[in-house]
Amino acid sequence: MPAHPLVNWPIVRALGRQRYLALSLLAFLCVAPFTVHYPATGRLFAYGVLALVFITGPLAVARTRLTLAFAVFLALLSLLPGVVSTLGQSDVAYRFSLVAGIVFFSFLAGLITRELLVDDSAVDSETIWAAVNVYVLVGLCFAFWYAALALFEPDLFIGKFMDQSLRGQLIGFIYFSFVTLTTLGYGDITPNATGVATLTYLEALIGQLYLAIMIARLVGLYIARRE
């Protein structure tokens, strides 16, 4: 990974590291499940923790000012409607927040993956953090996809968590997404339509291919540099 971002601003130098994005993602994944018992305040708190991702994410990919500006724009498009939907119980704002979140996570994952594939420098801690971030971002992206689809068609999934309110199901879909991504497959949530079934096996395929290709590449770079 590049040692220094191209956008040489103090805040980018201070927080524009893959490790900070990884810690923010981990904080959200650990905190979010405990917010379901407090529908309004819990979701606000979850969005507060998610704001850390929306801050560290753009800074971690700030290689140009345009990239930074677009990432911040996407982050605001997801975060602000999400907060509004919680305060005003607006399903329209929530749907908009989910769609913007899909684009945001996909954008970050794509940029970081491109750097991992193009950069041939030595493997360091930032490279490892970046590889972890892509994996988690892919899982969150699919989770937001499932939640957005369930808002438009509640019967697309059956099983656990489906008896909760539509906006309360996001935590369940995050669980379902990572279970699918890792091909763990407990079977307590299952797709109920061909379209979402296709989406789930594509996620499982991406998860396995990513691990096989990325780990092989990182190990290969490490061995090549040592030799």
Give the model's pLDDT for residue 100.
Answer: 95
E runs forming strands in 20-170: 157-159
pLDDT for 137: 97
pLDDT of residue 1: 65
- Tokens matching residue 137: 């971002």
pLDDT tens readout for residues 128-176: 899 999 999 999 999 999 999 988 888 889 887 777 766 668 888 999 9
Report d(CA 86, CA 167) in Å as an integer. Answer: 9
Q: Is the pLDDT of residue 3 over 60?
A: no
Assess whether pLDDT exceeds 90 at residue 47. no
Average per-residue pLDDT for the chain: 87
- Structure tokens belonging to residue 123: 């493997």
**Torsion, CA 112, CA 114, CA 116, CA 121, rounded to 10:** -120
Residue 201 near residue 207, CB atoms below 8 Å: no
Residue-wise DSSP of 77-131: HHHHHHHHHHHHT-HHHHHHHHHHHHHHHHHHHHHHHHHHHH--S---HHHHHHH
Q: Are 170 and 140 in contact (CB under 8 A)?
A: no
Take residue 106 and report the two structure tokens written for it: 């996909």
Q: What is the DSSP string of 136-172?
A: HHHHHHHHHHHHHHHHH-GGGEEETTTTS-GGGGHHH
Identify the residue whose tokens are 């996909």. 106
**Model confidence over 54-72: pLDDT tens digits?**
999 999 999 899 999 999 9
pTM comes to 0.91
Residue 29 has pLDDT above 90, yes or no: yes
- 24 burial class (0-12, 13-18, 19+ CB within 10 angstroms)? buried
Domain segments of the chain: what residues? 10-226
Residue 7: predicted pLDDT: 81
- Measured CA to CA, the distance from residue 100 to residue 74 in angstroms comes to 6
